[in-house]
Structure 1
Amino acid sequence: MGKIKQLIEDHPNIWEFIKFNVLSNCATITNFIIMWLCTGFIFKSFANTPFKFLVFNYADNIESNLGLCGFLSFLVATAAAQTVNFFVQKNLVFKSNAAFEKAVPKYIVLAVVLVLVSAALPAYSQSFFVNIGISEALAPTLANVLNILVQVVLSYPTMKFWIMPNK
C-alpha cells in the first residue's frame, strides 16, 4: 500500500486521470443501461422509422442503425450519463471548488457538444461495424464504446482546465 500512496503523491495528475477514467464508469454504466432499455423496450417501436436531420442520419442503413429508435436511445443515454458524470467528476475526481452556478452552464455546453457528437456518430459507426462483418446485434454496443472513447478525449481536458479547475 505504501508504494501506491507514494505513486499517487509523486504523480498526482496521472492519479487524477486514472480516477477520472475509473469513476467515469458510473456514467458508462448509466449509459449502457439506458441505451439497452431504450433500444430494447422504450423506443423499440421506432426502429424502422427513418430519421434524418442535419448531421443525424438514421435513415440510411436503418436495419443497422435502428432509425429513430437508435437516435433517441443514444441521445437519452448520453444525456443521462452526462448528468451522472457531472456530479461524480466535480465531487470525487477534481474535488473542484468551482462555483456550481458557473460550472453548470459550462458543463451544459460540453454536454451539448458530447450529445451532438454521440447522437450523430452511431449512425455512421454502426453501419461501419456492420459493413466490416460485425453482427447487427453487436453494432450498437460497439458504437456506444466508440462514443464513450470520444467523450473521454473531449471531456477530461475540458473539465480539468475550464469547467472544474481548482482555484
Structure 2
Amino acid sequence: MPVFKSIFAQTSLVTTNFQALPIGSHVGERTYYIFDYAAGALSSGGGGGLAYFLSIQITIAIAQIINFFAQRNITFKSTSNVWRAAFWYVIAYIIITLGAAATQVFYKDPIYNLLINTWEMGAFGETTADVITMSINSTISFWVFFPIFKLIFKHESVKQRTN
C-alpha cells in the first residue's frame, strides 16, 4: 500500500474528495461515511482523498486475487467449479469490504491522530498508522472470510462434478 500511496501522492487525486455511502452523524457533528477519504494529505489533517482510497482498494484487490487461488488450491484443495467459486468470492469480498470500511469509523481517525499529531511522529507515524489500520482491516476480513471459504471452496467428488 505505501508504494501505491506514494505514486498517487504525486497526483491531484490527493486533493480529490472521496466520501461515499453516509452511515449517520451526531447532532451538530460531521457525517460519517463508509468510505471517508476527505481531500488533503493525511499528514495535514486530510483523509488522503481519492488517492488514499485507490491505494487501499488496489492493494486489497491484488491480495484477494492471490488469496483466492491460494485458498482454493492450497488450503481447501477445492475441486468445485472455479467460476462459481470466483463469483461467490467476489460477492463476499464486496460485502466484507463494505463492512470492514464501516468499522473504520471507530478506529481510523484516532489511530492517525495519535501517531501523527499527538505523538508528533510525522511521516513515520503516518506509515505506522497505515500498517495498523490495514492490519485491523485484514484481521476483520480473515475472521469473516474464513468460514465463508468453507462454503465457497468445497471438495466435490468426481461423481458430483460429472452431474
- Same fold at TM > 0.5: yes
**Residues 75 and 118, structure 1, Cα contact 8 Å, conserved in 2:** no
- Select the residue among 91, 97, 100 that pairs with 1:109: 91
In structure 2, the partner of 1:129 is 111
1:82-120 deviation line (CA, Å, top 9, x unaligned): 111100000000001111122111111112223334555
CA RMSD of aligned residues (A): 2.4
In structure 2, the partner of 1:78 is 60
Structure possessing the higher radius of gyration over alpha carbons: 2
**Structure 1 pair 117/44, CA: closer, same or farther in 2 (3 Å)?**
farther
**Structure 1 pair 67/125, CA: closer, same or farther in 2 (3 Å)?**
farther
Structure 1 regions of 5+ residues with no counterpart?
A: 1-34
Equivalent residues in 2 for 1:1-167 (5 A)? 35-42=1-8, 44-45=10-11, 46-54=13-21, 55-59=34-38, 63=42, 65-119=47-101, 125-133=107-115, 135-160=125-150, 162-167=151-156
Distance 1:133 1:36 in 2: 16
Report % sequence identity: 27
Once the two structures are TM-superposed, the CA of residue 48 in structure 1 deviates from its matched residue by 3.1
Corresponding residue pairs, total = 132
**Structure 1 pair 43/97, CA: closer, same or farther in 2 (3 Å)?**
farther
**Structure 1 pair 128/138, CA: closer, same or farther in 2 (3 Å)?**
same
Bigger helix fraction: 1
Distance 1:56 1:141 in 2: 18
Q: TM-score, normalised by structure 2?
A: 0.69
Q: TM-score, normalised by structure 1?
A: 0.68
Amino acid at match of 1:52: Q
Which gives a bigger RCO, structure 1 or 2 (Cα 8 Å, sep 6+)?
Answer: 1
Structure 2 regions of 5+ residues with no counterpart?
A: 22-33, 117-124, 157-163
Bigger strand fraction: 2
**Residues 75 and 119, structure 1, Cα contact 8 Å, conserved in 2:** no
Once the two structures are TM-superposed, the CA of residue 136 in structure 1 deviates from its matched residue by 2.5
SS in 2 for 1:137: helix
